[in-house]
Structure 1
Amino acid sequence: MGLVDADQELKSLKRGLKAMMLINAQGSLAISELSRGLGLPRTTAERVLMTLLAEGFVDRDPQTKRFHLTDRVRALSGGYSDESWIAHVAAPMLFETTREIGWPLIIATPAGEYMRTRLTTDPATSLSLHRRHIGSEIAMAVSSSGIVHLAFLDPEQRAILLRILRESDDPAQEPARDGHRLDYAIARAREQGYSFGLDLGRERSVSVPVMEQGRIKAVLLMVFMARGLTHEQAVERFVPRLTRMAADIERLAFQDHPPPVL
């Protein structure tokens, strides 16, 4: 094998590894998102994904056309992780807390350019303007959960994701094109440990990170109505409780007693 061929194979390997890292960070990606995230032509990004698909490291949803990691990645690293902790650890804790405080709680994880609802306690309360459902999504660049995710993400992955958001066709991702505004919000979230996001409508939310071994795993957020609770009141009365809940989830799910694999 010549030096040029070896260099080309090494470059292809690096692209494949970076693609899996990005998919792992976001949950799933479309070809166009991977293209923007890695700064590659769409045809090159598609070749990378097709190679990973052929080798069984990724699979493609026939409906959404998005790529996600398969359990074969377990053979390479801890990138693929079981998420039964949401049902076994987080759900009982969140529903019990909502019955006490009244406001709905949500667990959200990234899905490309959006934060996707994985668990919601909306059914346990009437204190909300509209009902969310499992699978509903909100733009990452504007939401409190998205800003917290970006704030606690690995710097390299954050830079890639911010590039994707800046080049997004979704008008809801507009704050990403105002670098100073979003960078400030991210820095504040990392410093304070929480964020209210940039969408200051009638219904608002405050988010805190859920970590696993120093890496962000998910986001825990509380939704509230602006007329019923100020930001100052939320910080004083609820942010400490959310932070403790996140710590309890981390301890019970990822340290002391990992949930059973279903």
Structure 2
Amino acid sequence: MSESSYHSVRGLERGLAVLRAVNALGHATSVEVASHTGLPRPTVHRLLETLRTEGFLRRSGLRDPYRLTLKVKSLSGGYKDEDWITEIADVVLAELFDEVVWPTDIATFENEGMVIRSTTHTRSPLSIERSWVGRQLPMLSTAVGWTYLAFTPAKERHAILERIGAMAGPDQDKVRDPEAVRKTLATTRRRGYGTRQREFMPKTSSIAVPIMNGTHVLGCINIIWIDSAMTFDVATRRYLPLLRQAATRIEVAYAERVAV
């Protein structure tokens, strides 16, 4: 083996070590990765930026930690970014719609907000808000946002709230009352689902449950209804069990898929 080939292989080994470190830590700065791997910090920084440029890591700002993206799954079994949605969740969502008729969404976290990945708004005759795939929703004004924050690991939750507080947007005022945020998150975790009553989308309310893979929140699934048609308590009693069943079906199918 030539010296240049040896250095290339060594670079690959270091790159994989950095990727494994971010995976183990959940999210990490270059200092944390260097400490975890024992590699020099300048080397770690270059590798992290290379992995970010290639789409395997993401970060929101220069001072923010690095996180894995779903593109990492493409290294195993041909997994693509939203395969679990198109192959698993879309089917479950369609079947759920047949039971509830009210519009439902599946949303995942991205760039300090929840992004709608699949929806039945366009099919539902009861929808008054034409939500669409790719639309970004705020974290602290939506059922899916509260749900994601409540069930994601504490370290990630704190990092998200810090970034929300540093950005202009609909959630900034709420972040300034950390005690109220803490109480809402505690209530959401205790009851197992998030809520929204008229806020963000007037005349409607919603509830959402998490879709979990171990301690990782894959996404959240919600149902939205018109307040004048049904009280919040009635809607929750009627539809929460169906949402939970749908989330469980997705979780089981996802676990089976990634185990292959």
- Compute the TM-score of the two structures, normalised by the length of structure 2: 0.71
Measured on the aligned residues, the alpha-carbon RMSD in Å equals 3.7
Q: 2: CA distance between counterparts of 1:95 and 1:56?
A: 35
What aligned pairs does 1:96-115 form with structure 2 within 5 A after superposition? 96-115=95-114
Flag structure 1 segments of 5+ consecutive residues without an equivalent.
Answer: 1-12, 24-33, 35-47
Shift of 1:53: 3.1
Look up the match of 1:86: 85
User: d(CA) in 2 for partners of 1:92 and 1:70?
Assistant: 20
1:203 deviates by: 1.9
Structure 1 equivalent of residue 160 of structure 2: 161
Alignment of 1:56-71 (within 5 A): 58-59=54-55, 69=69, 71=71
1:11-67 superposed Cα distances (whole Å, 9 cap, x missing partner): xx79x949x9449xxxxxxxxxx9xxxxxxxxxxxxx8775233566439xxx9999
C-alpha contact (below 8 Å) 1:209/1:220 kept by paired residues = yes
**1:213–1:17: structure 2 CA closer, same or farther, 3 Å change rule?**
closer
Q: Kindly provide the amino acid, as one letter, of the partner of residue 133 in structure 2.
A: I
Distance 2:138 2:192 in 1: 20
* 8 A Cα contact 1:196 1:207, kept in partner: yes
97 and 237 in structure 1: CA distance in 2 versus 1, 3 angstrom threshold: same
1:150 alignment counterpart: 149
3-state SS of the aligned residue for 1:206?
strand
Amino acid paired to 1:142 = S
Give the fraction of aligned pairs with identical amino acids, expressed as a percent: 25
| Residue pair 2:138, 2:170 contacting (<8 A) in 1 also | no
Q: In 2, distance between residues paired with 1:17 and 1:54?
A: 14
Matching residue of 1:52: 48
Instruction: Return the index of the structure with the highest Cα Rg.
Output: 2
What does 1:26-41 correspond to in 2, within 5 Å?
A: none
Report how many residues are paired: 220
Give how far 1:185 is off: 1.2
2:34 match:
none
Task: Quote the residue 1:180 is aligned against.
Answer: 179
Q: 1:73, CA displacement in angstroms?
A: 7.7
1:250 maps to which residue? 251
Which residue number corresponds to residue 230 of structure 1?
A: 231
Give the aligned partner of residue 43 of structure 1: none
3-state SS of 1:117 partner: strand
> Aligned partners of 1:115, 1:189: CA distance in 2, in Å?
17
Distance 1:237 1:125 in 2: 18
Larger RCO (CA under 8 A, 6+ residues apart): 1
SS at 1:190 equivalent: helix
Contact kept? 2:197, 2:204, Cα under 8 Å: no
Match of 1:217 in 2: 218
Aligned mates of 1:93, 1:149 — CA distance in 2: 20
TM-score by length of 1: 0.71
Matched, 1:133 2:132: yes
C-alpha change, 1:101 and 1:169, in structure 2 (3 Å) is same
Structure-2 change in CA distance of 1:124 and 1:177 (3 Å): same
Give the 3 Å change call, closer, same or farther, for CA 70–163 of structure 1 in structure 2.
Answer: same
Preserved CA contact (<8 Å) 1:56 1:72: no
> What secondary structure is seen at the aligned counterpart in 1 of 2:194?
coil
Quote the offset at 1:174 in angstroms.
Answer: 2.3
| Cα deviations by residue, 1:84-127 (Å, 9 ceiling, x for unpaired) | 12111211221122122111111100112210000001122111
Which residue pairs with 1:28 in the alignment? none
Asked if 1 retains the 8 angstrom alpha-carbon contact of 2:113 and 2:137, the reply is yes
Kept after mapping to 2: 8 A contact 1:88/1:259: no
CA contact (8 A) 2:102 2:127 kept: yes
